[in-house]
């Protein structure tokens, strides 16, 4: 006769400590008459509380074969400072023959509970704005009234931050899933704002920070998102419109402007050093036997450019062309036109989606116009797969 069992009906972290209620039974309690609840933080005891049992007829019905199951309920507060708890919490439910809860004992262990957790429920990037919502609960949040969203690049360098004012939103689902974290039922937040220039065209990670500093520094506890692409690309794609909702870059403000065309991405990236400053939808050359009809390599914008052309052999033309190879053979230009100058609907529908040109780089009408009128002769163009 050596059976035992327990169940945690409820658990909540409070400012005074961890409140726990449930039931505990063991055949060994016949000789080990001192029940205790012990709280471990990262495997080390932080405090314990002696238990006083109450009637539990439901437990007696389910575990009638275990000694004293009819008198197995408990509700207790284990006093501790939530702000001193980090990592994982685990409970030991003990019957001991020692009044202090040591000596000979029969132990049962609970699952582990987190003391810091969070989730980014939504990260939405649209035409001009960013919306972020989620929850972040931490025992270290006590005494830290400020919340921030901080955006960092892939190297960890901060790009932008903004204070979260819509915070402490009710989240009953979080209170249920992480009950060992203080105030987890009020851990929701949301923030929306216009995309600032310093974020556009970046892959970023978002930090949700809870801190005691009104500027977002100081003592803090952080929750990190995965990588997020921030761009203001126009969707759905429209060959009659610029590819982005943002204005085209001012080249006079850039110190190392060049153009990158990764054919497989169906994009043209306007670059300043290693930073993307504008992204254009494109259609490059189709593949024959694994080789694109658009030549790969490093080229330079040439002097030849013009408003329109028509190739009778191919049965199509285009507008606003700019040469980058062989002085008028390989071009940046608009999506194709027919012999009467009308844009071809099917070819236009492939912009930014598929390869399909005979070697040139097709663009939207405004994008091609901008390149023709703004990109200087001699600008480097790198084309790769």
CA–CA separation, 38 and 346 (whole Å): 70
Cα separation values, 103 from 17, 78, 96, 106, 162, Å = 26, 21, 6, 10, 55
CA dist 33 to 28, 50, 66, 69, 95, Å? 8, 11, 14, 14, 6
202-211 and 105-114 strand pairing: unpaired
- State the pairing for strand pair 380-384/257-262: parallel
Catalytic (active site) residue 360: yes
* 179: number of Cβ within 10 Å: 20
Which entry of 260, 327, 333, 373 is annotated as an active-site residue? Answer: 333
Distance CA 254, CA 108 (A): 66
Instruction: Quickly count helices (H) and strands (E) in the chain.
Output: 4, 27
- The answer to whether 127 and 242 have CB atoms below 8 angstroms apart is no
Provide the β-strand partners of residue 281.
267
CA distance 229 to 283: 22
Q: Which residue in the block uniquely carries the two structure tokens 């670059």?
A: 271
Catalytically annotated residue among 136, 327, 360, 373:
360
Of residues 258, 135, 132, the one with CA closest to residue 195: 132
282 carries an active-site annotation: no
CA angle 230, 234, 237 (to 5 degrees): 130
- Give catalytic residue positions: 333, 360
């Amino acid at each position: 006769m050596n059976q035992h069992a327990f169940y945690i009906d409820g658990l909540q972290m409070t400012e005074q400590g961890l409140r726990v209620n449930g039931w505990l039974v063991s055949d060994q309690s016949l000789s080990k008459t001192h029940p205790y609840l012990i709280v471990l933080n990262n495997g080390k005891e932080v405090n314990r509380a002696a238990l006083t049992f109450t009637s539990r007829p439901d437990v007696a019905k389910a575990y009638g074969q275990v000694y004293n199951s009819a008198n197995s309920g408990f509700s207790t507060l284990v006093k501790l400072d939530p702000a001193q708890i980090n990592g994982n919490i685990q409970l030991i439910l003990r019957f001991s023959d020692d009044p202090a809860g040591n000596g000979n004992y029969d132990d049962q262990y609970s699952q582990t509970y987190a003391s810091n957790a969070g989730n980014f429920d939504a990260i939405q990037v649209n035409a001009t704005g960013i919306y972020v919502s989620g929850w972040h609960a931490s025992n270290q949040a006590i005494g830290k009234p400020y919340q921030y969203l901080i955006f960092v690049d892939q190297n960890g360098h901060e790009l932008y931050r903004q204070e979260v004012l819509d915070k402490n939103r009710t989240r009953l689902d979080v209170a249920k899933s992480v009950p060992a974290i203080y105030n987890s039922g009020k851990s929701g937040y949301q923030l929306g704002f216009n995309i600032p220039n310093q974020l556009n065209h970046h892959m970023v990670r978002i930090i949700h920070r809870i801190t005691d500093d009104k500027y977002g520094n100081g003592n803090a506890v952080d929750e990190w998102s995965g990588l997020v692409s921030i761009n203001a690309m126009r969707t759905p794609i429209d060959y009659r419109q610029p590819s982005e909702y943002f204005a085209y870059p001012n080249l006079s403000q850039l110190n190392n402007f060049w153009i990158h065309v990764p054919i497989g991405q169906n994009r043209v990236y306007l670059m300043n050093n290693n930073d993307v400053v504008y992204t254009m939808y494109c259609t490059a050359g189709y593949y024959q036997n694994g080789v694109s009809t658009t030549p790969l390599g490093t080229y330079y914008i040439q002097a030849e450019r013009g408003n329109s052309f028509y190739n009778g052999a191919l049965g199509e033309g285009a507008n606003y062309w700019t040469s980058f190879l062989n002085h008028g053979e390989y071009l940046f230009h608009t999506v194709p036109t027919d012999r009467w100058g009308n844009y071809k609907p099917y070819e236009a529908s492939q912009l930014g989606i598929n390869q399909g040109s005979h070697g040139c780089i097709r663009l939207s009408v405004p994008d091609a116009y901008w390149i023709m009128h703004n990109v200087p002769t001699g600008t480097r163009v790198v084309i790769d797969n």
